[in-house]
Structure 1
């Protein structure tokens, strides 16, 4: 490795036998997005080669020429990926100043690797203390780059890198699945970040229809063969829906009954969270041991309801129960869907929220033409009419659930903590 912690340096792009052995021991890099900003061909070339390595097959890597100033300009109007790799020939003080300016435009969840040209232990310690994931001294080899990425994202002792968001309806037919699928698509397209959707309604799931997919295999193969589940096996079951979006589809058949033990989906979810930064769980409207367990363990819960009395009662019961089951977590999020149905008496958003103690993060109006056309064509709302106000609401939900804010409202950060923005700690 070519960092100060290891104290070695690669002389060229050739892979030594020692590096080859180390590469063979590396696990595949998960579905993450990586963007590199390089100042020299000596770093850009091995970076490109790393992107072609089989261990990086699931990662999306894009290499830009230009160092930290180019990255600052680029991210002024673009979302940051899961990992940013920055080459800089700047002196230590100037490097820290540039990183401080870059931090103003970075999402808190993005990790950063710096490839510098100063072999300075003090600089290394300062960068690590500030939250940079790794400081590597040039020259670097392709093996170095893959190993650094692996050290951040596939540490076997680290917690899963992925965040799970469970969507569940307060009542059947409220549109929870449709919203889950569209929010997942928005996350993947807006932020260029890898998202996996898991349709847990094995009998009646609609994700395959909504995404216009007909995979031969899906989540049923995993849940009925738990002993086979690992990241490689799970990857074979995923259907690619878009550039950054994959689906664990439900069979949507009644050839068998789907009665499961409470922990039936736990291993699948844990494995999926090691494979992608965001996992969207489409949980059916049932209350069973496994559905309850899935909601309890999710990082975030989103309840979708329509503004009617039965929905209010069910939402109240779910919110109260989940607060008791998850005392150290924030309460579930609430989305009110199908608001404004003609001639239907409705409960206002304020009156709906008052007994729950939580306010909806979004109120989605009744738009049967938009939703109907999207469903019948196997397309997402944003593909059908990107300028529709409902699409803007869905995009805002995606921002809220990923902890992002709109670029215009991002808060600026100073250097101190690199500042809290570049977090070295792994999720």
Structure 2
């Protein structure tokens, strides 16, 4: 914010990398009602796009064309929402006078954000003195709107929400759960951070086997008793896998069917994020309302695939769909698993990644002895061989997902590589 007013940037349909980075730090907006009254399309458009952002999924936002006068007429016969956003092209003194008229029809508890076209010290101070929550100078971007709303309704003194990372396989059997569990273990041991693994595959989940746990209760008790979910109740359902790693295990039984509505896991995830810095969501390879919702709302998504054609098709479909569902976030991360299976025709990592337009976060080679021994003993890979190259790759994935490092670009062989090889031959 400048010393005059919130200094916004020009909006565009494309979200810049800086905006994505800024919005990644914002926490979800609570369940509030918001109504915007806009005089120009350049202000209405970013507000409408903000309504579709995942951080605004709980809020109800409606945009009306028309400025303060339209808002005054509207609230003569309607209840005012939690937040009113009004755009005005009026000169400063006229704007203040119009806001006095608006105050006469507004509930005192409603907050107001003004989008104006004058960057004026006197106006800004007068509006804040008058009780306006924020004054934003047009033009504005979608990121500006989400940031302003978040700053008003999210308590800056509260503990930050934990980061949720959802893992899903492009097909069944590609090792998504194994990757998820081992990355979670690495996060807890490398960074001394509390990590919670939630196995969302209630029918066939393997987290309890991989971590050698047999808890009497788990995620089924939470999802079938949503009215009881709070931090205390959730804590009683957790199995302790290591000093800083907890598991919300799936029953892995077929004594009932597991048909859920789209919001079935939302409250569980919200409560878990309030108490754990890192939440790893092991999402089964199915496509329905609740898996779509979990993947849309997660802070980060990781797709695990093996290097063959059906996996490439499914990964492309998932990538394209999630980019549309999460337009203001970076693309999902990709892990290519089980590379180099003997005698199996497969797609190279470069050719697999090319149509996806992203660099794989990791390429994990096929090693049945390492993975098989770990699975049969209920141990993580690093417990079997901490110095193994695959374990080091898993550790690199943990660094990337927690923001401690970036994906390393795999450069294609060029003249420099050729010269190096020639030197070695001498």
Secondary structure of the 2:246 match is strand
Aligned counterpart, 1:355: 355
**Does residue 1:208 correspond to 2:185, yes or no?**
no
- Whole-Å separation in 1 of the counterparts to 2:278 and 2:346: 34
**Does residue 1:298 correspond to 2:298, yes or no?**
yes
Give the C-alpha shift of residue 359 in structure 1.
Answer: 1.3
- Whole-Å separation in 2 of the counterparts to 1:326 and 1:343: 38
Give the C-alpha shift of residue 157 in structure 1.
Answer: 7.6
- Whole-Å separation in 1 of the counterparts to 2:284 and 2:358: 22
- Whole-Å separation in 1 of the counterparts to 2:239 and 2:166: 20
Give the C-alpha shift of residue 278 in structure 1.
Answer: 0.2
Contact 1:333 1:360 in 2 (8 A): yes
Give the C-alpha shift of residue 358 in structure 1.
Answer: 1.1
Aligned counterpart, 1:179: 179
**What runs of 5+ residues in structure 2 fail to find an aligned partner?**
1-153, 409-426
Post-superposition Cα deviations, 1:152-210, rounded to whole Å, max 9, x if no partner, equal xx969847520000000000000000000000000000000000000000000000000
Post-superposition Cα deviations, 1:190-240, rounded to whole Å, max 9, x if no partner, equal 000000000000000000000000000000000000000000000000100
Change (3 A) 1:398 1:251: same
Instruction: Please provide the CA RMSD for this pair.
Output: 1.7
- Whole-Å separation in 2 of the counterparts to 1:331 and 1:288: 21
**Does residue 1:167 correspond to 2:167, yes or no?**
yes
**Does residue 1:249 correspond to 2:249, yes or no?**
yes
Change (3 A) 1:187 1:396: same
- Map 1:208-227 to 2 at 5 A: 208-227=208-227
**Off by >3 Å, runs of 4+ in structure 1:** 154-160
Secondary structure of the 1:272 match is helix
Secondary structure of the 1:295 match is helix
- Whole-Å separation in 2 of the counterparts to 1:377 and 1:155: 45
Post-superposition Cα deviations, 1:252-309, rounded to whole Å, max 9, x if no partner, equal 0000000000000000000000011000000000001000000000000000000000
- Whole-Å separation in 2 of the counterparts to 1:155 and 1:223: 28
Secondary structure of the 2:356 match is coil
Q: Kindly indicate whether structure 1 or structure 2 has the higher relative contact order, using CA contacts under 8 Å at least 6 residues apart.
A: 1
Aligned counterpart, 2:235: 235
Q: Look at both structures and tell me which one has the larger radius of gyration over its CA atoms.
A: 2
Aligned counterpart, 2:366: 366
- Whole-Å separation in 2 of the counterparts to 1:326 and 1:235: 30
- Whole-Å separation in 2 of the counterparts to 1:267 and 1:302: 22
Aligned counterpart, 2:268: 268
**What runs of 5+ residues in structure 1 fail to find an aligned partner?**
1-153, 410-427
Post-superposition Cα deviations, 1:373-404, rounded to whole Å, max 9, x if no partner, equal 00000000000011110000000000000001
- Scaled by the length of structure 2, the TM-score of the pair is 0.58
